[in-house]
Structure 1
Amino acid sequence: MKKPTLYDALEQFEAIEANVAKLERLCGDVESLIPTGISFCSDPAYEDKCRAAAAILEHMPAIDGWQLKLEFFDLDEIAQIRFDLAEIMEPAAEASFENSLQEPSRQLREYRFRFNRKRRQLIRHALDDAIDQVDRLIRATRPAIEAMEPRDSIPEAALAELRTHFKEITTLMGSSMPRPDRWNEMGRHLHFGQACDFDDVEHVDWPAAKASLRKSLYGQDDPIAVNVGDLRELIASKPSGPIPTKLNWAKLTEEQFERLIFSLIACEPGYENPEWLTQTRAADKGRDLSVTRVAKDGLSGHLRARVIIQCKHWLERSISPTDVALLKEQMALWEPPRVDVLTIATSGRFTADAVAAIEKQGQADRALRIEMWPESHLEMLLAARPALIAEFGLR
């Protein structure tokens, strides 16, 4: 069987979603046709709605083994149960039965919830790539905008590509994700396409939208497995033993390590507009991270510094002076705007010579400052953020 493309998969998801919408409408119709009180009767419209729902149900695939089930009562059966319950005068049983008539709608809500979560998994990589492309386009277009008047038009090629990625992201989101903050405003600014609109997109619309997209995309509400039923039992067992502080970095892939560092800066107060920087010519195929570090000064106001974070998931080797020199050279790829701080985050360590070179750089009268985040530093940061340790399974 030929491997399906993303387009093929989206087409299947769209068909399933259309069936879900049909079933939701049919279940609403079925519930509205159920008589109130005890009424022995037949209703062809009710029966046809039930048959139509059953026919659609045959085309609803399971989700992780969970199969949608819709069971409808015959109208005479409903009347008989109501009659029997009225005779025994059990209000609680009557209420329970009336609630059971809405069980198909509850089943559908469960299916839609699972469906939306699966769809987000499907589009995750494509949406990540589209976000990266918008970031790249904004950076690449900024120098041309600097020379323009506010009412001048954005360069046609850049504007067309921005509009394309905006539509692509909208298509990928479908109805499984809420529209991100300022999404409509960004669409309006791209429609007008002037230099002043670009400023709004770059500084207001896109940072807000991107933050919302990341939160929706990466399972903020997804559960983390827990192996205890009652915390009282855990405490009663009086657990003891050594407390390991070293994290199991080997559990992470290079991409997961980058994602961990991104999550670290994305959730931290004082850090704004985190983004991926894709450089296909990078020897290790890795991606740098960019973020604005904001410091509040009581006299001067807010001071902003552009920070580039290089992620090196190296378990077998340490960062050397040669590596540091190469990373410094790569900072030119991300200017303008100017890079103020280069942070090297690694799951390994720095050689003594590399530490000396970085300390010498810090003493020199140069704009670029270099910070080291070795494994020991990351472990201290994460110790104060246990949720991230659990999220990435580092114990």
Structure 2
Amino acid sequence: MATPDQTPSPIMAALEKFEATEGNLVKLDRLWAEIQGLMPSGISFGPNAEYEDRCRSYGAILSALPKIDGWKPTAEPPDLDGLAQSRFDAMELDEPSAHISVERWAEEPGHELHEYRFRLNTKRRALIRDALSGLIDEVDADLRTLRHKTGIADDAKKLAQGDWAELRSHINQIEVLLGSSVDKPARWNELRRHMHFADSGDLDDIETTDWVQAKQALRKGLFGVNDPLPVDVDDLSDLVASHPRGTITTELRWSNLSDELFERLIFSLIGDEPGYENPEWLMQTRAPDQGRDLSVMRVITDSLSGTLRLRVVIQCKHWLSKSVNLQEVAGAKEQMALWTDPRVDVLIMATSGRFTADALRWIERHNAKGESPRIEMWAESHLERLLAARPALIAQFGLR
């Protein structure tokens, strides 16, 4: 965050423009409510200085709104004599459609303000998406650091107020990014309250409840949950009526994905899957191909023995021209020793390619000996089977 005497970062400069636009939109909403209150409900000719002054202010602020995708509101409050004449003409016609048309015209400024706010919020979410994703990862890392400092359960150490500084800073930055375009997630107030008291018990609540729920809501609010997917057909019945035949393609177009989108695909796969909870990116790791590890808890429930939680780390290899070899697998397995609190129980290697024969044999021997972590292979063919049962993800990531 820039201090007052510093030049703001590009994203802060952009946010300032959005905030100014939001400020003007709030003024327009207020003025429109006042104008509606002054607008007569029937036929009334003659001047109204208070109404006209608000309409002039409305027009001046409206002109300051920037366009969004080439569009901005243009409708202004109606002239009172013009409104009275239109209502009189509709009364003369004595047709319901004429009355409806006049009232819709009179209310058009309000409808356009609603449309503009929807577009503004959509664009603001797109603006903050990458920054917010990074801050979510930072909060995950902050919580791991705090847990390492305080220890576990009965051995927990008292945390100093300064230990919480990074977490507080990142949470504050998230609030700035959210603005009014994204609602504060559930338990956000509880999270802030626990940060204020800043005890080891508060850290437990943040880790197990507050942040888990907040993070899930933040990601769902940002990454296309309500964004439409293109469907190049007017009526699906036409497709059925044509009785299409032909070969069913099982291969996916992995080349359509960048390395980052491949990670996002795997994250989306585990993020909404029953039996998996608290997915996150591990900020401290960077593979030679710049990939980040993903972490998630696998929840196994047994009606007799209870619930078992296993920590799963996923390495993503978006490799189209080479296979994952023994050296890569062995190196990844050794890297898992660096991850503790909790330890890694399962290592998944997810790739858009394949595994070499020697890597397959090594993994099978490793798992047969029962050594930790267990290694699972999610090769191209395995991912294609998983995604075949999740066509929404195929469409979302453009894999056909």
* TM-score range relative to shorter protein: over 0.9
Shift in alpha-carbon separation, 1:180–1:3, aligned structure 2, 3 A: closer
User: Which stretch shows the higher mean deviation, 135-144 or 356-365?
Assistant: 135-144
Letter in 2 for 1:215: K
Letter in 2 for 1:392: F
Query: For residue 98 of structure 2, what is the aligned residue in structure 1?
Result: 93
For the Cα contact (< 8 Å) 1:149–1:195, is it kept in 2? no
Residue among 244, 253, 259 paired with 1:254: 259
Query: For residue 380 of structure 1, what is the aligned residue in structure 2?
Result: 385
Q: Is residue 231 of structure 1 aligned with residue 236 of structure 2?
A: yes
Residue among 179, 187, 192 paired with 1:187: 192
Q: Is residue 28 of structure 1 aligned with residue 33 of structure 2?
A: yes
User: Which stretch shows the higher mean deviation, 149-158 or 285-294?
Assistant: 149-158
- Within-5 A mapping of 1:28-67: 28-67=33-72
Query: For residue 120 of structure 2, what is the aligned residue in structure 1?
Result: 115
- Partner-residue secondary structure (3-state), 2:64: coil
Query: For residue 134 of structure 1, what is the aligned residue in structure 2?
Result: 139
- Partner-residue secondary structure (3-state), 2:190: helix
Identity of aligned residues (%): 55
Q: Is residue 175 of structure 1 aligned with residue 180 of structure 2?
A: yes
Residue among 288, 293, 299 paired with 2:293: 288
Q: Is residue 201 of structure 1 aligned with residue 206 of structure 2?
A: yes
Q: Is residue 145 of structure 1 aligned with residue 150 of structure 2?
A: yes
Shift in alpha-carbon separation, 1:63–1:154, aligned structure 2, 3 A: same
Which ranges of structure 2 fall in alignment gaps of 5 or more residues? 1-6
Deviations 1:238-280 (A, max 9, x none): 2222111100000000000000000000010000101111235
Cα shift at 1:328: 0.8
CA–CA distance in 1 between the matches of 2:152 and 2:262?
A: 39
TM-score relative to the length of structure 1: 0.96
CA–CA distance in 1 between the matches of 2:95 and 2:229?
A: 41
Residue among 80, 84, 91 paired with 1:79: 84
Deviations 1:80-125 (A, max 9, x none): 1111111221123212321321111111111111110111111111
For the Cα contact (< 8 Å) 1:154–1:198, is it kept in 2? no
Which ranges of structure 1 fall in alignment gaps of 5 or more residues? none
CA–CA distance in 2 between the matches of 1:140 and 1:390?
A: 38
CA–CA distance in 1 between the matches of 2:225 and 2:232?
A: 20
Query: For residue 215 of structure 1, what is the aligned residue in structure 2?
Result: 220
Query: For residue 367 of structure 1, what is the aligned residue in structure 2?
Result: 372
Aligned pairs, number: 394
User: Which stretch shows the higher mean deviation, 16-25 or 274-283?
Assistant: 274-283
CA–CA distance in 2 between the matches of 1:87 and 1:58?
A: 36
CA–CA distance in 2 between the matches of 1:72 and 1:294?
A: 58
For the Cα contact (< 8 Å) 2:146–2:164, is it kept in 1? no
Query: For residue 396 of structure 2, what is the aligned residue in structure 1?
Result: 391
CA–CA distance in 2 between the matches of 1:251 and 1:169?
A: 31
Letter in 2 for 1:375: E
Query: For residue 303 of structure 1, what is the aligned residue in structure 2?
Result: 308
Q: Is residue 352 of structure 1 aligned with residue 378 of structure 2?
A: no
Cα shift at 1:321: 0.4
Query: For residue 3 of structure 2, what is the aligned residue in structure 1?
Result: none
CA–CA distance in 2 between the matches of 1:47 and 1:229?
A: 46
